[in-house]
Chain A
Amino acid sequence: MSSLTPRLRQGRRGLLYLALLGGGLIWLYPFLWALGSSLKSTDGFFSGGLNPIPSEFHWSNYSEAWTQADFSRFFVNTVLFATGTVIVTLLATSMAGYVLARTDFPGKKLWLGLVGVTLFLPHGYTIIPVFDLIQRLHLLNTLWSVVIVQSAGGMVFGTFLFMGYFTTIDRGLEDAARVDGANFHQIFWRIMLPLSGPMLATVGLFACINAWNSFFIPLVFTLSRPELHTLSVGMFNFIGQNSTAWTLVCAGSVITLLPIVLIFVVLQRFFINGLAGAVKQ
């Protein structure tokens, strides 16, 4: 490397940027194509092929998808569903992560072992007993059922993340608080939880993204209530009923994909730090 002249090295660096940029364009091509196609006319959609740039901009695709295809309702449902899932997940996993990291109690190791084993078992089919359970709790066809089942699926991952995070916090802090007369609850809610801000953001963002993208769970638990459908389920149904309105499907895809991509881009630091922390442990 050191034998290269500066100009040659600069050229190599330029090529590297070009390759990264070109690769990135190809990488995001399906999204760019969906974005472009969502603005095409129906004819333009078929003649345009893989060209993402529309010849004229049909913004009406969005208003049609939003009102006629009911994407406004799906959007509100998805926001409620994701918010509920984030709250339930954060409460349950931060509390569990704290006691597993910082307290000792009989049965802890056994519980951790059981939790670890569940990671390996295939989950797809267990929807039947879950469906049965939700039905017996009289929660079928409510957004609550979707929130609870979705949150339950994220318990293990969130708990492990909080556990890892709380383990790294200096023990002296807790001891000092205890000396000052703080009880168990005060230590958790006033000291440990506020300290875990980055982890709250990480686990919350994970729960939010997973809920937003969830397809199978909202599909099964709101099957007979179209007014409770989320974006992905709504889009699936829309395709089933309107097999030719491809430009509206693309507009629906953009309405579904864009918010979560924006949330990720703004908050990515927390997401990526969380992932990185999880794998480093």
Chain B
Amino acid sequence: MSLLDTRERRRASPPRPPVAARPGLGRRIRAAKWSYAYLAPMAVLLLAFVVYPIFASFGYTFYRWNGIGAPGDYVGLANFRQILHDGIFWGAVEHTFVYAFVLVPVQLLLALALALVLNNPKLKFALFFRTVYFIPVVTSAAVVGVVIQLMLANFGDSAGSLLAKTGVTDGHIDWLGDPHTALAVIIAIGIWHTLGYNLVYFLAGLQTIPAELYEAAKLDGCGPVQSFFRITIPMLRQVGVVIVVLAFIGSFQVFDLVQVLTGGGPYFATEVVNTYIYHLAFGGSAGAAAEPDIGLASAASFLYGLLLIVFSALQVLALRGISRRRTAAHQ
């Protein structure tokens, strides 16, 4: 193998990030040429349509640009300053966090309870019920939003008057039009729409627990409550960490549901970060800046990305800490 040949190879694998030179690197790259070839379609799609756009957006953060033609005025860090001083941005961050921190615990508790019921081997039709509770997951948030909007906006009176009769409220409720109820309604629909995922995750976790553990516990005189706290919960810890992390990642990216149901309104009461960014970039919100500003939108999403990375790191550290302490305590 000639030296020239090796250099060619090294140059011919652009998607690889540079690696510190070690003896035999060229040879190892050459030996793995088909690995790179098989990785290439996935790598090209990911780099072009996921990674490149993230960096390209970062470039836009320094400009005031309406998205047509080439980026216009260079404004330095002004976009970041404007976002950091924008009350609506912080409101959107708050709404997103409220959405996530209400949705995740409620949804996970409901899903775990349902999973425990459906995991009972003596229960008939468990598969049927699992399917029923999973169905909303496979339906489009946009279409579900339209259907629920029709139900609520045109017939909210049916539910509203029912509540009025029972004395909970007095008369008409505009569920999605009232700033006090809109976010709560969206959270409820969010819990309903994606609960199936967590149900399946928990069922998968429960099925990894050997039945002998429960039998042994029963022989030792453990009741169902005791074996739940002593066996089920500790055995679910590993899967549980993944479930919590995934649930938060999903909740922080909420968009379709909010956009279709309220568009962030009324009066920004349900504006989440992704709808805020969307409105900055494409306009379309009543109170937002009339002129779309890609630079401002990119700055907002960059700041939000930083916020999420910090949050994810803290979350992983905290969850690891908890499980390590528990493991130590059990030994």
Contact = CB atoms under 8 A, between A and B. Distances in A.
Contacts of A125: 57, 277-278, 281, 297-298, 300-301
A176 interface: no
A149 to B, nearest CB: 6
Given A95-B39, A106-B32, A133-B49, A250 B200 contact: no
Contacts of A20: 117, 129
Contacts of B192: 27
Interface string B239-281: 1001100100100110110000000000000000110011001
B319 interface: no
B48 A118 contact: no
Interface in B21-49: 25, 28-29, 32, 34-36, 38-39, 41-43, 45-46, 48-49
Contacts of A119: 249
A155 interface: yes
B171 interface: no
B308 A122 contact: yes
A123 B19 contact: no
Nearest to A26: B192
Contact of A215 (B42, B43, B52, B140): B140
Interface stretch (A57-65, A194-202, A268-276): A268-276
A148 B45 contact: yes
A115 B46 CA distance: 8
B283 interface: no
Contacts of B133: 23-24, 27
Interface stretch (A68-76, A167-175, A252-260): A252-260
Given A24-B132, A99-B35, A264-B135, A30 B151 contact: yes
A160 to B, nearest CB: 11
Interface residues of A, number: 88
A261 B135 contact: yes
B204 to A, nearest CB: 3
Nearest to B60: A128
A216 B253 CA distance: 14
A96 interface: yes
Contacts of B45: 88, 92, 148, 151-152, 155
A24 B129 contact: yes
Contact of A155 (B46, B125, B159): B46
B233 interface: no
A8 interface: no
B286 interface: no
A261 B136 CA distance: 9
17 contacts: A30-B147, A96-B41, A100-B39, A107-B19, A122-B253, A125-B300, A128-B294, A128-B298, A148-B45, A152-B46, A246-B154, A249-B150, A253-B147, A260-B140, A276-B200, A279-B239, A280-B208
